[in-house]
Amino acid sequence: MTRNAEFEGWVQAGQELLERYLQQHLPASTLAPQRLHEAMRYAVLEGGKRVRPLLALAAGELATAPLEPLIAVGASVELIHAYSLVHDDLPAMDNDILRRGKPTCHKQFNEALALLTGDTLQSLAFQWLSDPRLGLDPARQLQLVQQLALASGSRGMGGGQAMDLENTNQNPTLPELEAMHLKKTGALIRAAVLMGAHCGPPLEEKAQRHLAHYANCIGLAFQVVDDVLDAEADTSVLGKTAGKDAAANKTTYASTMGLSQARAFAQELLEDALRALSQLGPRAERLEQLAHFIVHRSH
Ligand code: GRG
C-alpha cells in the first residue's frame, strides 16, 4: 500500500468514528423541539472535511492518548466549528446561501432558527466535553473545557470574526490580516491540536512548544489556502460560493500578495510546521500528513 493510500485509509476511519459519535450524540430530530434538533443535525452531519477532529486524533496519537476521549474532544471542536459556520453564513455576517454543498442553515430553515442552532451547538460542545464519562482526570478535563472556551471566545475565534467585520473596507495590512486570522481560523485549529495532545500523558515542555508552533503555522496556512481557493476554485468543488472575497472587495492574502505569493507563503508555513514536527519523533507522522493535506487540498 502506498503511503498516500494508507493515510487516506486513516482519514476515512477517523471520519467514520467521528460521524458515528455525532450521529449517536446529537439529539434525535424526533425529540422536542423537533425543528431545532433537525436544524442542529442538518448543520453538523454529512458534510465537511472534519479537519479539526482529525487533527485532535493525530495529536492524540503523538501523545499516546486513549481513543475514546479523543473522539469526544474532536466532536466538541467540530460542533464549535459548525456553529461558527452557521452564524458566519447569516445575512448579518457573510450572507451566504451555500455551505457544504447544500443550502445554508438559515436558507433551509430560517434566520431565527439558525441563530438558535449555532447557540445550542455551542452549548452542546461544552456538554460533551464536560461529560464525566469521558474517563479523563477531572483536572485535565477542566483544562480542556477552558482551552475550548478560550479558543472560541472573544480572545479567539469570536474575537477574530469581530476584527474581520471591523476590517471590512479598511484595507488591513498583512500583519493585521495575520493577527485576525490567527484568531478567527487559527485559534480553533490550534485548540484541536493542543486538546488532542492534552488527552494523553503530559508532553515535555519543549515538545509542547514545538507542537504549539506547528499548530499556529497550520492554522494560518489553512486560511491562506482558503483565500487562494476562494479566488481559484469552483463553487461546485468548494461546496460554498467561490469568489466571494473579491465580490465583497475583501482584503485577503490572495488580494494582498497575489495568488502565487500567497501559495508560496502557505508552502513556507508548511515547511515551518514540518520543522517543528521533526523534533517530535515518528509518532508525529499523522500531523505531518495532515499539514500536507491542509496546504495542498483542493477544497
Ligand atoms: C458569535 C462568538 C461568535 C462566534 C461566531 C461566525 C464566527 C463567530 C466566526 C466565524 C469563524 C469562521 C467561519 C472562520 C472561517 C474558518 C474557515 C476557513 C472555515 C472553513 O472551514 P473548513 O474548510 O470547512 O474546514 P468544512 O466545511 O470542511 O468543515
Q: What is the DSSP string of 216-274?
A: HHHHHHHHHHHHHHHHHS-HHHHSS-TTHHHHTT---HHHHH-HHHHHHHHHHHHHHHH
Count the helix, strand and coil residues of the chain and give each as a percent rounded to the nearest 5.
Answer: 75, 0, 25
- 295 alpha carbon to ligand 1 midpoint, in Å? 17
Give the other-Cβ count within 10 Å of 213's Cβ.
Answer: 16
Of ligand 1's listed atoms, the one at least distance from the Cα of 222 is 18
191: CA distance to ligand 1 center in Å? Answer: 14
Its sign, for the CA torsion 238, 53, 295, 231, is positive
User: Which atom of ligand 1 sits closest to the CA of residue 239?
Assistant: 27
Residue 37 Cα, ligand 1 centroid: separation in angstroms?
A: 21
- Closest ligand 1 atom to residue 154 Cα is 2
- 185 alpha carbon – ligand 1 mean position (Å): 7
In 10 A of CB 91, how many CB atoms? 11
For the stretch 30-64, what's the b/e string if a residue is b when 16 or more beta carbons lie within 10 angstroms of its beta carbon? eeeeeebbbbbbbbbeeebebbbbbbbbbbbbbbe
The reported pLDDT for the residue numbered 42 is: 98
Q: Which atom of ligand 1 is nearest to the CA of 223?
A: 18
Task: Return the biggest CA–CA distance within the chain.
Answer: 51
Q: How far is CA 160 from CA 151, 163, 243, 279, in A?
A: 10, 5, 21, 30
Phi, psi for 102 (deg, rounded to 5):
-140, 165
The confidence score (pLDDT) of residue 188 equals 98
pLDDT attached to residue 68? 96
Write down the pTM of the prediction. 0.97
CATH number corresponding to 3-296: 1.10.600.10
- For the chain, the domains span 3-296
Q: Ligand 1: which of 85, 90, 148 to mutate, most ligand atoms within 8 Å of CB?
A: 85
Report which secondary-structure segment, H or E, holds 147: helix 138-152
Please give the Cα distance from 53 to 271 (Å, whole number): 22
pLDDT of residue 2: 82
Q: Is 161 in the pocket of ligand 1 (CB under 6 A)?
A: yes
- Which residue's entry shows cell 460521524? 19
Question: For residue 3, what pLDDT is reported?
Answer: 79
87 CB near ligand 1 (under 6 Å): yes
List, in order, residues 6 or more apart from 182 with CB less than 8 Å away: 160, 216, 219, 220
Ligand 1 contact via 198 beta carbon (within 6 Å): no
> For the chain, which residues score pLDDT lower than 50?
none
Q: How many other CB atoms are there within 10 angstroms of residue 152's CB atom? A: 24
Residue 46 is predicted with a pLDDT of: 87
Task: Tell me, using a 6 A CB cutoff, whether residue 240 lines ligand 1.
Answer: no
Give kind and range of the element (H or E) at residue 98: strand 98-99
Residue recorded with cell 445554508: 104
Eight-state DSSP code of residue 45:
S
Helices and strands counted in the chain (H then E): 16, 2
CB of 215 within 6 A of ligand 1: the answer is: no
Q: How is residue 42 written as a grid cell? A: 442538518
According to the model, what pLDDT value does residue 290 have?
A: 98
Which is the closest atom of ligand 1 to the Cα of 100?
27
Question: 282 C-alpha vs ligand 1 centroid, how far in Å?
Answer: 31
**In a mutational test of the pocket of ligand 1, which residue from 81, 96, 123, 190 has the highest number of ligand atoms less than 8 Å from its CB?**
81
Residue type, 88: D
All three cell numbers of 141, joined, read 478535563
96 lines ligand 1 (CB under 6 A): no
- What is the C-alpha separation between 223 and 111, in angstroms, rounded? 27
Q: Is 164 in the pocket of ligand 1 (CB under 6 A)?
A: no
| Residue with CA closest to ligand 1 atom 5 | 84
